[in-house]
Amino acid sequence: MRFSAGNSLRFTSRSSYARHSPMTSSSADIVVSFHQVQLSLGGRLILQDFSLDIRRREFVCVIGPSGCGKTTLLRLLAGLLKPTSGQVVHEGRPVTGPSPDVAIVFQDYAKALLPWRTAAGNISLALESAGMPKGERSDRIAALLQKVGLSQHGNRYPAQLSGGMQQRLQIARCLAQEPAVLLMDEPFGALDAMTRQSLQDEVARIAADSGTTVLFITHDLDEALYLGDRVVALKADPGRLARLVDVPLARPRDQLATYEEPGFHGLRRSLFGLVQGNHS
Ligand SMILES: Nc1ncnc2c1ncn2[C@@H]1O[C@H](COP(=O)(O)OP(=O)(O)O)[C@@H](O)[C@H]1O
Ligand SMILES: [Mg+2]
């Protein structure tokens, strides 16, 4: 694990518009690849011939009907599952197990946080397990709390925080790992609409500022289009790629203007049937 000196986060600043600078096809720009990945569990084909290259700093959203294999894709990339055939490659090496370079934000924030540790203590856990000296932790924790808007809540326990705050805390704990790749599995599915919108904007900002590559799973098509540089639509039975679309909407995205952009509705229409489980 890499930690920079002092209290500044290692994250390099960059314009969020950089996401739309032309990408070269150089393999150095590819941070994650699924190569013809096939997965069977208990004799059942779960994922069929799935291939995808994810570029560095890209924000890729995955949508598809329930049971189509979205979480399975994430678990394969996190090294929690092995493909039956094919390969998942991260930074040029096959994924063989979990890595601190890949962090996961789960939908169920209540289960992801330690209830007996304060917000600061939960973030500290990631730093402790990475071996960060005690003297350096408090500045880092303060910076992370600030990044997710929880500066005033470091001494509270998870049960004393709202759902949105708990999810912010889980995100901060993942960022403490300084992951190159952030995996998010329907992270806002349990939150009310207003909280969800503000967290969408925060995650977009954090990803843009930090240069983290994000694989974001959602069953909400609007959320996928709002956040993604590309959207991967999966079909079910067996799980497989249905469509892959670029989302050339202006950044930074805006909760009013983005949805009113001329291109938005065409993208929405082209993916709508796939998300409903209509395989035609
Ligand atoms: N450990 C497992 N053993 C057998 N089947 C599983 C296992 N985990 C998931 N599945 C099956 O794989 C399919 C894809 O699951 P999942 O990736 O969780 O779907 P999604 O996240 O898109 O809802 C589902 O049909 C599910 O029942
Ligand atoms: Mg799932």
Looking at ligand 1, which residue's alpha carbon is closest to its atom 14? 69
Q: What is the mean pLDDT of residues 103-114?
A: 93
Rounded distance, CA 47 to CA 280, Å? 19
Long-range CB contact pairs, 132-135, < 8 A, 24+: 132/3
Looking at ligand 1, which residue's alpha carbon is closest to its atom 27? 67
Q: Looking at the whole model, is its pTM more than 0.85?
A: yes
Provide residues with CB under 6 Å of ligand 1.
Answer: 41-42, 46, 64, 66-72, 239
Rounded distance, CA 54 to CA 214, Å? 9
pLDDT digits (tens, 9 = 90+) for 172-181: 999 999 999 9
Please say if the pLDDT value at position 39 is more than 70: yes
Helix, strand, coil share of the chain (percent; to 5): 40, 25, 40
Looking at ligand 1, which residue's alpha carbon is closest to its atom 8? 72
Please say if the pLDDT value at position 2 is more than 50: no
What is the overall mean pLDDT for the chain?
90
- Alpha helix ranges (H) inside 78-182: 109-112, 119-129, 134-147, 163-176
